[in-house]
Chain A
Amino acid sequence: EAGVTQFPSHSVIEKGQTVTLRCDPISGHDNLYWYRRVMGKEIKFLLHFVKESKQDESGMPNNRFLAERTGGTYSTLKVQPAELEDSGVYFCASSRIMGDSGYTFGSGTRLTVV
C-alpha cells in the first residue's frame, strides 16, 4: 500500500506569508495526526483528526495555524501569517487504529521562514 504522502517536501517563505502543507494519509486510515519538530527539539503533537472531525487540537500553538480535513481524506495545515519560530519539520501520520504497528509517518515538510 502507498505510504503517507506529504507535499511539499520543502518550503521557504518570508515572514508574513502564508503556506499550506498537505498530507495524504494511507487509504482507509481514519486517524490523521499532525506533528512538528523544531530544530534540535522533540517532536510535538499538533492535532488529531478522526475522519473529518478534530478529535484533539490541544497542540496547535496559536490561531495562525488552521488544519482541515474535508471529506475525511487528505488534510491541509495552513500557517497564516508565518513567523520565524514556525520553522521546522511538519510531520503527518495516519493509523487505522493505534494497533500493534503504531502510526505510519510521512517524510515531513521542512518549512523555513526567513
Chain B
Amino acid sequence: GESVGLHLPTLSVQEGDNSIINCAYSNSASDYFIWYKQESGKGPQFIIDIRSNMDKRQGQRVTVLLNKTVKHLSLQIAATQPGDSAVYFCAENMNRDDKIIFGKGTRLHILP
C-alpha cells in the first residue's frame, strides 16, 4: 500500500495516553472543518467535523477544538489505541457543496 507517512511530521504516543494533533488552517472565511484518518492502502475516513459557530465538539473518544482567532484546529484522541495509528488530516471548507482543502497531515505512531 501507499507509504502514507513519508515526509510528514510524526507524533509518537504511548498506548493508553491521550493524543493531541494540531492543525493551522489557512482561510479565515472557512466555515466548516473536518478531521480525516488515513490508514495505509485506504482512503481518508471521516472522524469528526465542526462548524465555525462552535469551538468544541465531542465524539466517541475524539474531541475537536476550534480557535478561529488564531485559525487553529486540534484533534484530541482519548486513550490512544494501536488501531489509531494512521495519518491524520485536517480539512477546511467554505461552502458545504464546494471542495475541501486538506492540510499537510500528521502521522500518529503508537508506542507499545
Task: Mark A residues whose CB is within 8 Å of B.
Answer: 4, 31, 33, 35, 37, 39-45, 48, 50, 55-56, 59, 89, 91, 93, 97-108, 110
Query: Could you show 13 A-B contacts with beta carbons less than 8 Å apart?
Result: A33-B99, A39-B2, A40-B8, A42-B102, A45-B99, A55-B97, A97-B96, A98-B32, A98-B93, A98-B95, A98-B97, A102-B46, A103-B100
Do B44 and A105 have beta carbons less than 8 Å apart?
A: yes
By beta carbon, the residue of chain B nearest A30 is B97
A15 to B49, CA, bound (A): 40
Do A48 and B46 have beta carbons less than 8 Å apart?
A: no
By beta carbon, the residue of chain A nearest B32 is A98
Do A98 and B44 have beta carbons less than 8 Å apart?
A: no
CB distance from B103 to the nearest CB of A (A): 7
Do B99 and A91 have beta carbons less than 8 Å apart?
A: no
Do A48 and B99 have beta carbons less than 8 Å apart?
A: yes
* Other A-B pairs, 7, CB within 8 Å; known A40-B3, A41-B104: A40-B7, A43-B44, A45-B101, A103-B100, A104-B46, A107-B41, A108-B43
CB distance from A106 to the nearest CB of B (A): 5
Contact partners of A42 in chain B: CB under 8 A: 89, 102-105
By beta carbon, the residue of chain A nearest B3 is A39
Task: Mark B residues whose CB is within 8 Å of A.
Answer: 1-3, 6-8, 32, 34, 36, 41-46, 49, 89, 93, 95-105
CB distance from A34 to the nearest CB of B (A): 10
Do A41 and B7 have beta carbons less than 8 Å apart?
A: yes
Contact partners of A50 in chain B: CB under 8 A: 97
Do A98 and B98 have beta carbons less than 8 Å apart?
A: yes
CB distance from B62 to the nearest CB of A (A): 14
Contact partners of B42 in chain A: CB under 8 A: 107-108
Do B44 and A91 have beta carbons less than 8 Å apart?
A: yes
Contact partners of A35 in chain B: CB under 8 A: 102
By beta carbon, the residue of chain A nearest B46 is A102
